[in-house]
Amino acid sequence: MKNRNPLINWLFLIIAGAGWGGSISLTKIAADSGYHPITLIFWQLIIAIAILVAWLMANRIRLPTSPKHLIFYTIAGILGTALPDSLAYFIAPHLPAGIISIVYALVPMMTFTLAVILRSERFELTRFVGVLLGLSAILLLVAPAFDLQPTSSPLWVFLLVLACFCYSIESIFAIFYMPAKDHPLTILTGMSIAAIIIILPIMLAAGIPFSIQNFLGKSEWALILSSFIHVGAYAGYLYLIRHTGAIFASQISYVVTLSGVLWGIIIFTESHSLWTWAALATAMVGLGLVRQQQEN
């Protein structure tokens, strides 16, 4: 069902995207702590599940457990949480936050291609131009500044692209199979529980430690904050998929990328050239074209 109030859709897009952009830097802070990446995703899921279950109990909502729901939780939990988030923690110590933010912009291109192929969205020239302008904004960021550090391996970029592909597949999967009547937070609860059930035997089999030394350090607080952001941003993302479609929802990646650059300036005192601000302007024009078509 399409939401007829475009302002609400744009508020969700901007707030969720800015939160996710900030979580990239928080993930890097947490990953630099020396903890095993799977340990970090385990605790991220534990915190997220605690928040979500508390919300379900406060609203007296039962988690649906029909076979249809369980299948969706499992597949979406793998594609949208377990695999890409684990990859993110593996990759974060090896690539700069800015490059991570930039590569995430591949998600709309992948989603658009899959959506047209599977006919979940019509090919519309205006929206296509909007997507191209968004990708052009990413090129403005990449062309003058994409310079992997000598110690970085192309393998980490490839793994990051794989994580983007997981998000794209999950977006299309959600369009076709996400239960229509359930609240996004209910769905996210099931996905998070499914993801941790999948991760637990892997940790036990590989002997990956569960323990966190303390919850008072910078890395631990970054993990906690990123978990809260994960819940809020992902719920907003699922809301957008349901109410606006896969293509409009995928534009969140542009907000994530551009806000990720800005958060990098704030958190890591990164500096950028005029190319960055030109990219911001180009992306806003692209988003405006997508918005115009969405309203029509």
Within a domain: 188? yes
Instruction: Print the domain residue range for 58.
Output: 6-295
pLDDT along the chain (296 residues), means of 10: 69 88 90 86 93 92 92 93 89 80 75 78 78 74 51 69 88 84 87 94 90 78 89 80 74 81 83 69 72 49
Within a domain: 101? yes
The pLDDT of residue 290: 63
Within a domain: 141? yes
Residue from 162, 187, 165, 190 nearest 174 by CA:
187
Q: How far apart are CA 203 and CA 94, in angstroms?
A: 22
pTM of the model as a whole: 0.78
Rounded to 10°, the helix 37-58/83-91 angle is: 140
The pLDDT of residue 26: 92
The pLDDT of residue 182: 84
Residue from 40, 104, 89, 63 nearest 194 by CA:
63
The pLDDT of residue 179: 84
The pLDDT of residue 145: 46
Within a domain: 67? yes
Within a domain: 240? yes
> CB under 8 Å to 2, separation ≥6 — which residues?
243, 244, 245
Within a domain: 275? yes
User: What letters, b where the CB count within 10 A reaches 16 and e where it falls short, cover 106-136?
Assistant: bbbbbbbebbeeeebbeeeeebbebbebbbe
> CB under 8 Å to 158, separation ≥6 — which residues?
none
The pLDDT of residue 76: 93
Number of domains in the chain: 1
The pLDDT of residue 75: 95
Within a domain: 1? no
The pLDDT of residue 151: 41
Report how many helices (DSSP H) and strands (DSSP E) the chain contains, helices first. Answer: 13, 0
Within a domain: 211? yes
